[in-house]
């Protein structure tokens, strides 16, 4: 369903009226396309408090394709290296670096702050680095005009390259106010793809719930990036599933993911193994707890959480997911902040977050597999189009972008997790919510 308010604010009368009334003024976000693959402007590289990176950052930034400059009147992106900030005094350098340039960043531009992991042995450094999180989340909420602001904690520019490439392109249009930790030592293997344009070439990806909506967008994006996609959905969606698989040059796997032996069926269908497992299948059965019968509770927990646990356990144990594989599950901001009428759904999605935090270090140590999750906010789908008007409008406006996201926004984030160069990204839950005002 078209966002008529967004379209209206793009007109002269709309801008005038909404400005006079103090209403949100969203701008259309620039998203990735083959004809416009980058942000279309220079990248401003700044430093505050010195750098604690183990390797040169500028070299990695130049590989993103944006012209890197020490000064720029209208930068499309700003990267501030604040990894060396160790005390409160050094935080003043963060202000000094960004204060003169923040207003000049182009619409739909990017501000990426690089920080270090807070040191439990140095409470001054930990306080200063944690301060960057509050700074970034606040700056994201005040930047406006489709700009995004993100904090990346890392000690290695090379390990963070796939993350920087994602954040410094239109692919990250609906990801803002997030804190992403990129490991160095102990991370999975980081393998630069032969082609950054098709980084998933030669890899096989399974996407559940892939017949429509977000799942279909994920399959399309992974196929665009070179993956051989296997689309899984319930047998009742077989016609749509086969049609989509044929269009993407992939294969269809009609299967009830809640079946006890679903993992065995998947392993049998993929005798050569699986490189990327995307848990996207999910349902809602909304009702306030006092009015929720047990079957509505059970069905949501079964599809959204129990099936994810069972199939993941089986595919890891069977060796279907080998070293270098990627598991990405779908959580939700409802699992972060809760939502009225969704105790079942929020429990299931919070459970996904718990799964990621617990399994990620063990799956990496035992199998060489990374485990991450996306947590979508208000995404424009057929499901949200059926939401009552006022609730739908609130969902669209209550984020820093003042608009809903698109299925492709979730898909692009999943594709970044799936990249072979993202081996240092593990145990992360990244909200694709335009920095929702709920839980963000």
pLDDT confidence of residue 439: 63
Here the tokens at position 51 are 């750098």
List the Cα angle 97/103/109 in 5-degree steps.
95
Among 5, 32, 174, 345, the one annotated catalytic: 345
pTM of the model: 0.96
Distance of alpha carbon 263 from alpha carbon 95, whole angstroms: 51
d(C-alpha 58, C-alpha 113), whole Å:
14
Tokens of 127: 């306080």
Which strands make up the sheet holding 178-182, listed edge to edge?
68-69, 43-47, 77-81, 110-115, 148-154, 178-182
Ramachandran category for residue 324: left, alpha or beta (phi over 0 → left; psi -120 to 50 → alpha):
left
What is the β-pairing status of strands 321-330 and 148-154? unpaired
Cβ atoms 433, 440 nearer than 8 A: yes
Write the CB contacts of 140 (distance below 8 Å, at least 6 apart in sequence): 148, 149, 150, 176, 177, 400, 435
| Domains along the chain with CATH numbers | 19-182 (3.40.50.720), 204-432 (3.40.50.720)
Position 111 scores a pLDDT of 98
pLDDT score of 182: 97
Residue 379 is given by DSSP the state: B
Sheet holding 204-208, edge to edge: 251-254, 228-233, 204-208, 274-279, 321-330, 370-376, 429-432
Per-residue pLDDT of the chain (440 residues; tens, 9 = 90+): 788 889 989 899 999 998 999 888 899 999 999 999 999 999 999 999 999 999 999 999 999 999 999 898 999 999 999 999 999 999 999 999 999 999 999 999 999 999 999 999 999 999 999 999 999 999 999 999 999 999 999 999 999 999 999 999 999 999 999 999 998 655 667 889 999 999 999 999 999 999 999 999 999 999 999 999 999 999 999 999 999 999 999 999 999 999 999 999 999 999 999 999 999 999 999 999 999 999 999 999 999 999 999 999 999 999 999 999 999 999 999 999 999 999 999 999 999 999 999 999 999 999 999 999 999 999 998 877 777 777 888 889 999 999 999 999 999 999 999 999 999 999 999 999 999 987 65
Are 435 and 401 spatial neighbours (Cβ–Cβ below 8 Å)?
A: yes
DSSP-derived secondary structure for 35-103: S--S-SS-EEEEESS----SS-HHHHHHTTSSPEES--SS-SEEEEE-TT--SHHHHHHHHHHHTTTGG
Using an 8 Å Cβ cutoff, are 258 and 303 in contact? yes
For residue 260, give the 3-state DSSP assignment. Answer: coil
Known active-site residue 174: no
Q: What pLDDT does residue 387 have?
A: 72
Q: Please provide the size of the chain in residues.
A: 440
């Amino acid at each position: 369903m078209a966002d008529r308010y967004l379209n209206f604010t793009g007109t002269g009368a709309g801008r005038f009226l909404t400005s006079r009334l103090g209403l949100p003024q969203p701008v259309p976000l620039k998203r990735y396309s083959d004809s416009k693959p980058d942000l279309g402007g220079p990248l401003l590289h700044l430093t505050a408090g010195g750098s604690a990176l183990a390797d040169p950052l500028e070299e990695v930034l130049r590989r993103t394709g944006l012209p890197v400059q020490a000064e720029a009147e209208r930068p499309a992106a700003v990267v501030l290296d604040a990894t060396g900030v160790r005390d409160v005094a050094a935080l003043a350098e963060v202000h000094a670096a960004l204060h003169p340039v923040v207003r000049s960043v182009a619409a739909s531009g990017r501000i990426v702050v690089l920080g270090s992991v807070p040191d439990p042995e140095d409470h001054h450094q930990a306080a200063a680095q944690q301060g960057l999180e509050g700074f970034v989340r606040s700056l994201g909420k005040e930047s406006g005009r489709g700009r995004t602001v993100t904090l990346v904690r890392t000690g290695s520019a090379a390990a963070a390259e796939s993350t920087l490439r994602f954040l410094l392109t239109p692919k990250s249009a609906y990801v803002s106010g997030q804190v992403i930790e990129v490991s160095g030592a102990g991370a999975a293997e980081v393998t630069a793809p032969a082609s950054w344009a098709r980084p998933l070439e030669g890899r096989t990806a399974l996407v559940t719930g892939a017949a429509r909506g977000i799942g279909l967008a994920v399959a399309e994006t992974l196929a665009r990036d070179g993956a051989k996609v296997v689309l899984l959905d319930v047998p009742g969606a077989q016609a749509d599933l086969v049609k989509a698989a044929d269009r993407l040059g992939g294969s269809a796997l009609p299967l009830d993911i809640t079946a006890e032996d679903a993992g065995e069926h998947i392993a049998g269908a993929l005798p050569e193994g699986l490189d990327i497992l995307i848990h996207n299948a999910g349902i809602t059965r909304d009702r306030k707890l006092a009015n929720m019968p047990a079957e509505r509770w059970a069905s949501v927990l079964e599809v959204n959480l129990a099936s994810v646990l069972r199939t993941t356990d089986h595919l890891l144990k069977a060796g279907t997911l080998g070293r270098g594989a990627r598991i990405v599950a779908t959580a939700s901001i409802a699992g972060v902040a809760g939502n009225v009428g969704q105790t079942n759904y929020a429990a299931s999605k919070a459970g996904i977050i718990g799964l990621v935090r617990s399994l990620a270090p063990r799956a990496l140590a035992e199998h060489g597999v990374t485990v991450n999750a996306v947590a979508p906010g208000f995404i424009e789908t057929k499901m949200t189009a059926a939401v009552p008007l006022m609730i739908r409008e609130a969902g669209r406006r209550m984020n820093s972008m003042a608009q809903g996201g698109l299925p492709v926004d979730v898909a692009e984030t999943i594709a970044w997790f799936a990249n072979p160069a993202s081996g240092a990204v593990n145990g992360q839950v990244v909200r694709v919510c335009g920095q929702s005002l709920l839980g963000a």
